[in-house]
Amino acid sequence: MNSWDRSDSEFTFNSKYPGLGSNDFDLMMRLSRAGTDHRKFMRMIVVYVDITAPMYWLTEFDTYKVGTVSNSTSKMHRLTYKPFEISDFSFEHLICNKSEAFFGSDKVKSLVDNLNQLRNYYLETKDKHYWYSILQLLPCSYNQKRTVMLNYEVLANIYKSRKGHKLDEWKEFCEWIESLPYSELITGKSN
């Protein structure tokens, strides 16, 4: 907008966040509301975050690969480094009461025990078939950690598309977006 002379922000190397001036913030909000072709500056606001989430959610998150970089814990190299525990999975929404008996806690424990038995066989023999069995039986509720680099433009697309999603993980992620500095650039909400 050729408005460099009206910039009123203060940038110092010692501050956690830049002192964003009211003129600059107003311009940023107007550009943000004008749409993706006007808010190119949001592509330059970079965010790094560690995400631990079930694979079923991470698969959906991969939809937003444009403008992101991700580095995850490797299933190829780290899958058997420790025994499996129930806390390694997102099982909180399974139907586990006796009256509905669809997938009770005994079956969850059995699944984890079976994965650990295969892990032990693999560690003893180094037979790749056991490792493959673990990989192929691993439920999509298995939690994986990723370090992700993205930007405010990607976060705006995620927020717009996923803020009302039925998965709790998306609701939690959108709440995290709302907690970011100057999140109103992403959400369009006034703070």
Query: CA-to-CA distance for 18 and 21, rounded, in angstroms?
Result: 9
Structure tokens at 44: 């330059």
Q: How would you class 91 by CB atoms within 10 Å of its CB: exposed for 0-12, middle for 13-18, buried for 19 or more?
A: middle
Tell me: pLDDT of 1 over 70: no
Query: CA-to-CA distance for 2 and 5, rounded, in angstroms?
Result: 8
Please name the residue that has the structure tokens 């444009």: 66
Q: Which residues pair with 149 in a beta bridge?
A: 48, 69
pTM of the model: 0.81
Per-residue pLDDT tens for 111-141?
999 999 999 999 999 999 999 999 999 999 9
Please name the residue that has the structure tokens 């749409």: 35
Strands (E), 110-173: 143-151
Query: CA-to-CA distance for 145 and 88, rounded, in angstroms?
Result: 11
Cα dist from 162 to 120, 123, 167, whole Å:
40, 41, 9
Tell me: pLDDT of 97 over 70: no
Per-residue pLDDT tens for 23-74?
888 999 999 999 888 899 999 999 999 999 999 999 999 888 776 777 777 6
